[in-house]
Amino acid sequence: MAPAPLLEAVDVSFTYGASTVLDRVSFTLGSSEVVSLLGPSGCGKTTLLNLIAGFRQPSSGRLLFDGAPITAPGPERAVVFQSGALFDWLTARQNIEFSLSCRGVAKAERRDVSEHVLELVGLKGAGGLYPYEMSGGMRQRVGVGRVIAARPRIMLMDEPFAAVDVQTREALQEELLRIHAATRCTIVFVTHSIEEAVFLSNRVFVLAKRGGTFDAAFDVALPAPRWDGLNRLDPEFLRLRERIYLTMKAGSPAATTGARAHALT
Amino acid sequence: MPSPRSHLALVLASPLMLLLAWDGATRFSLVEQILLPAPATIGAALWDVLTRGYAGVSVFVHIGTSLWRVLTAFLLAAFVGVSLGLLRGLYPRIDAVCLVPFELIRPIPPLAFIPLFILWFGIGEVSKVLIIFYYAMLVVMLNTQAGVASCPEDKIRAARSLGASPWQVFWRVVFPASLPHVVVGLRVALAAALSILVASELLGGDRGLGFVISDASTFFKTADVFVGIVLIGLIGLIADRALTFTARRIVHWEGKT
C-alpha cells in the first residue's frame, strides 16, 4: 500500500430522492494511476466522478482528497466533459488559458503554458481557432489541454471520447497515455467501453448494473508504454476484455452489497 | 431550386412588376390619386420634402427628432432590460419578485398605454420616450433571462472545476453564453420601438416622422403620407442591418456550434 492515498473513498453513498445511486463504495487511488470506472448507463459511474469533482456531496461516507474531505470543485480535480463544454466565444488558446487567467496569471506566462499545452495535445498552430472551426477530435484535445493547463492532481474524464469516430477515438486514447506519461497526473476515466478501459488503465473498477456498487476490480498487467507497442488484438488484452465482459454479463456472484470482489489478472 | 441567375431575376422582377401595376392603375385612373398617388408623384413629393422640409421644418429635424426619441428609449431599454434580465436569471428571489407584475403587464399591447401616458406625462418627449422604453425593456429583459437559462450546466461546471470564482463564472461564462439571446431581444425590441414611435407621434406633437404622416393625412396630402412611410421604413431597415452587422461580429460563434 502506498503511504498516503491521493484519493480515498470510505463507504461513499449517494441517494437521489428514493433511489440509491451509489451504495457504500470504497476504494483508494494512488498518485499517477489511471483508473477506469466501467459500467452500463445508470450504474452511477458519472455520479461518482461528480462527487470526486466536488459538484455534489456524498449522502453518507467519506470522500477524502489528500486527506481532506472534498467540499467544492477545484482545479486540482479538473474535469474533461463528454460534450467538451468548451467556451464557444474563446479560441483554443484562450480555452486552455482559462484556469490561468482566472488565477490572474500574467499574459506572457499564460502564453508560455498554452504554447506548451497546445503542442502536448497535438494542436500546435491551431491555437487561434474557435471551437466551431474545429473537428470533434480537436475539440476534445482542447478539453484535455484546458484541464492539463490547470495542473490538476487528478484529471477526471467523463466519457470524453464517446462522441468521436473509432479512428479518432483510438488516436485520442494513445495520446492520452502519452500525455499521462509526460505529466504523471492521476486519471479517473469513466467509460462504458471495456476495450477503452483495459487499454488506458492500470486498474478497472466495474460497477454493477443496479445498486451502485462495485462488482469487481481488475488490475491490468499489460506492458507500458502502450501507445505504440500494444496490439489491441494481443491475446492477453483480449483475455482480459473477455473476463471483464463475462463479469459484467453475469454480475459477480462474489460481490455482495458494498463488498468489493478483487480479481487479479 | 432555380439557378442563382434566375433567382436574382425573379427577386428583381417582382418589385418592378408591382411598381408597373401601381403606375398603370393610377395612369388609367383605376384608383383616385388622392387615395393612391402615382409613384412619380411620390418621388417628386420626396424630393420636395427633402429639399424644402415639411410644415416649415427641415425634414432632417423631423428625422432627427424621431431618431433621438427612439435611440434614447432603446439604449435605456437595452441597459435596464439586460441588467434586469441578468438579475432575474441569476437570482431566483429577484425573479420571484418580478414574475407576477411583469407577467401581468406583458400581454398588454403597448399602444393601449399611450393615452394613459399622455394623461400622466403630457404629449411631450417624456411620454413618447417612456412608452417605447417600457415595451422595449420588457422584450430585452425576457430574452436576456432566457439567455441566462440557456447556458449549459456543463460549461458552468467546467468553469468551476477550472477554478473560476462565482463572479468569474458569471462574467466569463454565463454572460457570454447568453449574448445570442440578448441580440435577438435587441433586434425585436428595435423593430417594436420604431412602430411604437410612429404610433406615439401620431397622437401629438409637431415634430417627427409620425407627425409628418398624421399631419399629411389630415390635409389629404397623400403623397406626403407615403414620404413619411418610406422614410420610416428606410430608418428601420438601416437600423436593423446595422444592429445585425454589429451583433454578428460580437456573437460570431452563434449558429455555428
Q: What is the pLDDT of residue A253?
A: 45
User: Quick check: is A258 in a domain?
Assistant: yes
% of chain A at pLDDT higher than 70 = 90
Contact B155 A55 (CB under 8 A): no
pLDDT tens digits along A131-175: 999 999 999 999 999 999 999 999 999 999 998 899 899 999 999
Contact B162 A75 (CB under 8 A): yes
Burial of B157 (0-12, 13-18, 19+ CB in 10 A): buried
For chain A, how many structural domains are there in total? Answer: 1
Sequence spans of domains, chain B: 64-250
pLDDT tens digits along A85-121: 999 999 999 999 999 999 999 999 999 999 999 999 9
Alpha-carbon distances, residue A143 vs A173, A182, B158 (angstroms)? 14, 17, 9
Q: What is the pLDDT of residue A263?
A: 39
How confident is residue B72, by pLDDT bands cut at 50, 70 and 90? very high
Alpha-carbon distances, residue A223 vs A89, A231, A242, A265, B235 (angstroms)? 42, 11, 18, 13, 72
A53 touches chain B (CB under 8 A): yes
Q: What is the pLDDT of residue A224?
A: 66
CA distance B153 to chain A (A): 9
B166 touches chain A (CB under 8 A): no
pLDDT tens digits along B73-92: 999 999 999 999 999 999 99
A87 touches chain B (CB under 8 A): yes
In B, which residues are within 8 Å of A85 by CB distance?
Answer: 152, 154-155, 157-158
Distance of CA A136 to the CA centre of its chain: 18
pLDDT tens digits along A5-28: 899 999 999 998 888 888 889 999
pLDDT tens digits along A48-83: 999 999 999 999 999 999 999 999 999 999 999 999
Structural domain including A194 reads 1-76+187-265
Closest CA to A85 of A42, A33, A140: A140
For the residues B38-46, what does the mean pLDDT come to?
A: 92
CATH code at position A197: 3.40.50.300
User: Quick check: is A205 in a domain?
Assistant: yes
Structure pTM?
0.85
**Which class in CATH covers the domain with range B64-250?**
mainly alpha
B155 touches chain A (CB under 8 A): yes
Contact B157 A53 (CB under 8 A): yes
Q: What is the pLDDT of residue A211?
A: 66
Burial of B182 (0-12, 13-18, 19+ CB in 10 A): buried
Contact A85 B158 (CB under 8 A): yes
User: Quick check: is A104 in a domain?
Assistant: no
Q: Which of B152, B163, B256 has its CB closest to that of A102?
A: B163
Q: Mapped to the 3 state alphabet, what secondary structure does A95-148 carry?
A: HHCHHHHHCCCCHHHHHHHHHHHHHHCCCCCCCCCCHHHCCHHHHHHHHHHHHH
Residues in contact with A149: Cβ distance below 8 Å, sequence separation at least 6, in sequence order:
A96, A97, A98, A99, A100, A113, A114, A117
The arrangement of strands across the sheet holding A19-29 comes to A19-29, A7-16, A60-65, A68-69
3-state SS assignment for residue A158: strand
In A, which residues are within 8 Å of B158 by CB distance?
Answer: 79, 81, 85, 87, 146
Cell of A179: 500525455
A98 touches chain B (CB under 8 A): yes
For the residues B197-224, what does the mean pLDDT come to?
A: 89
In B, which residues are within 8 Å of A74 by CB distance?
Answer: 161, 163
User: Quick check: is A108 in a domain?
Assistant: no
